[in-house]
Amino acid sequence: MQNVKSFDDILNRESIFIDKKTLRRGYMPPSLEDVLHRDDIIKKYISCLKDALENEIPNNVFIFGKTGTGKTMLTELITNDLVKTAEKNNVKILVSYINCETNNTDTGVMKQLVGPLQKELDISDKKVSNSFSAYFHHYCDLINDFDGVPVIIFDEVDKLKNPDILNQFSRVQENRYTNKNICMLGITNDLFFVEQLNTRTKSALSQQEIDVPPYDASQLKDILNTRASMAFKEGALGNDVIILCSALAAQEHGDARKALDLLRVAGEIADSNGATTVTEENVYSAEKAIERDHVVDTISHLPTQTKLVILSIAKLFVENSKSRTKVTTPAVYDLYVKLCNKIDMRTLQRRRVADLIGELDMLGIISVDKAARGRYGIVNEIAINIPVETIFNTILEDMRFESLAEPAKESGQKTWF
Ligand SMILES: Nc1ncnc2c1ncn2[C@@H]1O[C@H](COP(=O)(O)OP(=O)(O)O)[C@@H](O)[C@H]1O
Ligand SMILES: [Mg+2]
């Protein structure tokens, strides 16, 4: 680690980065021309939306593919380009972007749509009762007054609490609420999402479809090279660093975001060590750090009851490792009840806790083996897939569990119970 004693030291030290933001999430290539290896997709996307240039409402488009394949980036760049080009043709296009991961309720979506449209039409805020239906009808009135093409992007559309609102948007003209349709662009990483929709919503959303494939290692390498030349000083990347980041991300599922994250974090590690080049070892360390962050993030966002369940499992795991016995569901339940009592929390029924254990299994934090036979009939055996310290340390940060931690006698570090 470089010697840092003041902010001046930070300001004056040599860094391997020129412009780190070009590796950050959310950074986008400036224009469609800077996008690599997506010519076919761009062509198809443009053809799906081209009618908008003539003030006609294009059919809805459903865009799907795994994470980090460029869906959000492409949609933003394509719609920006569409707005600009249509302007030249005196056609107005109003694009609303909704990230359904952060805005997933019916009324939340409507509020985000209504605000900018009122502004566009220069109408002052109208008092609307706080229900989906009231907002929806107000929105339809505004659309009638808007002379142009309304486009709504529903990014991460599978996260909507009630995806069937899409059906209502798709039928505004048919139901005579408006004099024109609304063009919806639905984006998802969840390939099974459409299967779960009701038939009407399914057919509404999938009028046109774009399947965005994963990148292979050599395509990822090209994407990283372009970004790296903006982000790092010349000569700052060791041999094969980019090849390694691309290969690791391609193994996962051809995820450009993962590749960029690996390169950025590897650079940060090298930089904080005061090194002048990024090494392959830095990339492997970055991979571990990202994995750890991901697990910590997942655990810290679990509901309180689930945290108590995983805590009971981790505690039993540590105790049982001495006697080499397996952690079983009845033992987890007994300890869970004790912990609930200790912090004055409501106790869930045995069956509900079994559900929570199933959810932890789905998240990959634990593995449940259903085959064991015990005193109570079939008993589930549980193994933990991540370091128990990570579980303890992450959960300890939640104030509600503070009373379960006690300082260890010698080290002063906190241990459990
Ligand atoms: N073909 C590409 N050229 C340049 N950068 C890309 C390309 N594809 C993806 N990226 C970058 O990878 C990251 C992830 O892309 P994103 O659009 O968020 O993926 P998705 O929405 O499919 O999960 C973004 O930073 C994006 O700029
Ligand atoms: Mg996205």
User: Looking at residue 8, what is its pLDDT?
Assistant: 80
Strand partners, 96: 152
Span from the CA of 27 to the centroid of ligand 2 (angstroms): 12
Please tell me the pTM assigned to this model: 0.81
Span from the CA of 27 to the centroid of ligand 1 (angstroms): 9
Could you identify the atom of ligand 1 that is nearest to the CA of residue 155? 21
Span from the CA of 229 to the centroid of ligand 1 (angstroms): 17
Cβ atoms of residues 132 and 153 within 8 Å: no
Could you identify the atom of ligand 1 that is nearest to the CA of residue 65? 22
Domains and CATH numbers, the chain: 38-211 (3.40.50.300), 216-298 (1.10.8.60), 302-416 (1.10.10.10)
Sign of the CA dihedral with 323 first, then 327, 331, and 333 last: positive
**Closest residue by Cα to residue 391 from 353, 372, 363:** 363
Tokens of 392: 């303890």
- CB neighbour class for 402 (10 Å; exposed up to 12, middle 13-18, buried from 19): exposed
Q: Which of 25, 73, 219 to mutate to test the pocket of ligand 1 (most atoms within 8 A of CB)?
A: 73
pLDDT tens for each residue of 352-407:
999 999 999 988 899 998 766 666 667 788 999 888 888 988 888 888 887 787 65
| Rounded mean pLDDT, 31-48 | 97
Per DSSP, 179 falls in state S
Tokens of 250: 């391609």
CB-based pocket (< 6 A), ligand 1? 25, 27-29, 35-38, 67-73, 223, 256-257, 260
User: Looking at residue 390, what is its pLDDT?
Assistant: 87
Nearest CA to ligand 1 atom 13: 257
Closest listed ligand to the CA of 156: 2
Task: Round to whole Å and give the CA distance between 118 and 143.
Answer: 10
pLDDT tens for each residue of 191-219:
788 888 888 888 888 899 999 999 999 99
User: Looking at residue 229, what is its pLDDT?
Assistant: 95
pLDDT tens for each residue of 64-82:
999 999 999 999 999 999 9
pLDDT over 70 percentage in the chain: 94
Span from the CA of 295 to the centroid of ligand 2 (angstroms): 20
| Core vs surface per residue 278-313: b (16+ CB within 10 A) or e | bbeebbeebbebbeeeebbeebeebeebbbbbbbbb
